[in-house]
């Protein structure tokens, strides 16, 4: 057991992973797990990490299920990470094919593969979570190579701890649709994410109208028609201004928490015909990886714990309530569909419980 657990260890592990260096993940009562992220590995790094060529592959349960590899294991633990046991033909190309769904349809995998119970389930789950935070594919090679960084599973909770957020700066920021607005930036000493609040109008003493907007570079900046983010963002500013006062939270949760590159991988899968839900699962992620505790913390720092919430997503209401914010009213926030996002909006309604 490590004596102290710091979110900085998680930050170092994320950095190591992105550079293609192996990390060791520890958890109480489990053997240490040393892994190399497949996305940032190459044949040379793999040969250094597993000199005898022997390695297993760690996948999320969703990715393994997509590859029809999860059914060999205990169905009673559906979210358990899955280990694909080494076979003589394993090489970098095979590891990449297991990790990356992009070529699933073009080049179906040839087995046989054998899956084995994961020896360190908590550490394995932590490694997959670190990959998501790093914006990488959640898939690893497991071997006995030397690690650049050791991280305890508990360090991730410290890294992600919303309570560590503080106000960093406030400034006046007139925006189109709301000339009387103030921007407030939040930072935590652990994570690099800088969340933003736009406080619009003047506090009236009544519960503010709030919008939780998750970052969407494609929709917010480029005007993507694939989603409804851009129009929702601007409509929220107008609605809050019209209400007299309220707060727009701009949360750095690109792609529902899987990061920009992984979201674009999901888009590439959508080009192959998968919907937004199935694309996330094929990649090995949860359908929605966001934690709305961050938003609750920001509202608390702004002194607001009773709000009216602009959303169609019941998970946002539940997430705020679970973190101590009272949502006195859900205000629908639906905008007209276009031919490119019709199917996306229907999927949100039919598969993720959006009240549209």
Ligand X SMILES: Nc1nc2c(ncn2[C@@H]2O[C@H](COP(=O)(O)OP(=O)(O)OP(=O)(O)O)[C@@H](O)[C@H]2O)c(=O)[nH]1
Annotated binding residues for GTP, written as ranges, equal 211-215, 232, 254-256, 276, 311, 316
85 C-beta neighbours (distance < 10 Å), count: 12
Measured between alpha carbons, how far apart are the two ends of the chain, in Å? 48
Does the annotation mark 290 as catalytic?
yes
Does the annotation mark 288 as catalytic?
yes
Helices 276-283 and 342-351 meet at what angle, rounded to 10? 70
Mark the segment that binds ligand X (CB under 6 A) among 21-29, 78-86, 192-200, 308-316: 308-316
The only residue of 98, 312, 323, 327 in contact with ligand X, by rule CB under 6 A: 312
CB contact at 8 A, 17 and 10 = no
User: How many whole angstroms separate alpha carbon 164 and alpha carbon 169?
Assistant: 15
**38 in contact with Zn ion (CB under 5 A):** no
User: How many whole angstroms separate alpha carbon 19 and alpha carbon 294?
Assistant: 28
User: How many whole angstroms separate alpha carbon 346 and alpha carbon 276?
Assistant: 10
**258 in contact with Zn ion (CB under 5 A):** no
**255 in contact with ligand X (CB under 6 A):** yes
Min separation Cβ 10 and ligand X, Å: 22
Residue list for the binding site: 211-216, 227, 229, 232, 254-256, 276, 311, 316
**214 in contact with ligand X (CB under 6 A):** yes
Mark the segment that binds ligand X (CB under 6 A) among 37-45, 67-75, 154-162, 210-218: 210-218
The only residue of 46, 50, 126, 227 in contact with Zn ion, by rule CB under 5 A: 227
Catalytic residue among 288, 297, 306, 349: 288
DSSP E strand stretches across 153-258: 166-172, 181-187, 195-201, 209-214, 245-251
3-state secondary structure 247-292: EEEEECCHHHHCCHHHHHHHHHHHHCCCCHHHHHHHHCCCCCCCCC
Contact positions vs ligand X (CB under 6 A): 213-216, 227, 229, 232, 253-256, 258, 263, 266, 276, 280, 311-313, 316, 333, 348, 354
Site residues (CB under 5 A) for Zn ion? 216, 219, 227, 229
């Amino acid at each position: 057991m490590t004596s102290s657990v710091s979110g900085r260890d998680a930050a170092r592990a994320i950095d190591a992973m992105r550079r293609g260096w192996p990390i060791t993940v520890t958890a109480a009562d489990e053997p240490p797990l040393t892994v190399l992220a497949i996305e940032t590995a190459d044949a040379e790094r793999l040969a250094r990490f597993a000199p005898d060529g022997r390695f297993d592959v760690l996948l999320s349960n969703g990715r393994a299920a997509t590859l029809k590899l999860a059914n060999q294991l205990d169905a009673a633990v559906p979210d358990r990470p899955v280990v694909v046991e080494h076979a003589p033909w394993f090489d970098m190309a095979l590891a990449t094919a297991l990790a990356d769904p992009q070529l699933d349809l073009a080049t179906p995998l040839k087995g046989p593969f054998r899956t084995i119970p994961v020896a360190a389930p908590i550490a394995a789950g932590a490694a997959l979570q670190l990959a998501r935070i790093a914006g990488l594919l959640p898939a690893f090679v497991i071997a006995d190579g030397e690690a650049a960084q050791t991280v305890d599973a508990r360090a991730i909770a410290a890294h992600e701890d919303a309570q560590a957020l503080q106000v960093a700066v406030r400034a006046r920021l007139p925006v189109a649709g709301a000339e009387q607005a103030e921007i407030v930036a939040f930072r935590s000493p652990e994570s690099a994410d800088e969340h933003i609040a736009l406080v619009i109008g003047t506090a009236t003493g009544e519960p503010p109208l709030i919008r939780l907007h998750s970052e969407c570079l494609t929709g917010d900046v480029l005007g993507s028609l694939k989603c409804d983010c851009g129009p929702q963002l601007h409509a929220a500013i107008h609605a809050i201004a019209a209400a007299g006062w309220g707060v727009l939270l701009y949360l750095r949760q690109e792609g529902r928490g899987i990061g920009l590159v992984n979201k674009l991988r999901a888009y590439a899968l959508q080009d192959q015909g998968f919907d937004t839900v199935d694309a996330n699962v094929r990649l090995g992620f949860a359908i929605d990886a966001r934690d709305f505790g961050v938003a609750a913390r920001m509202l608390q720092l702004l002194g607001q714990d009773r709000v009216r919430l602009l959303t169609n997503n019941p998970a946002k209401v539940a997430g705020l309530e679970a973190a101590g914010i009272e949502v006195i009213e859900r205000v629908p926030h639906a905008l007209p569909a276009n031919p490119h996002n019709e199917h996306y909006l229907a999927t949100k309604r039919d598969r993720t419980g959006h009240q549209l």
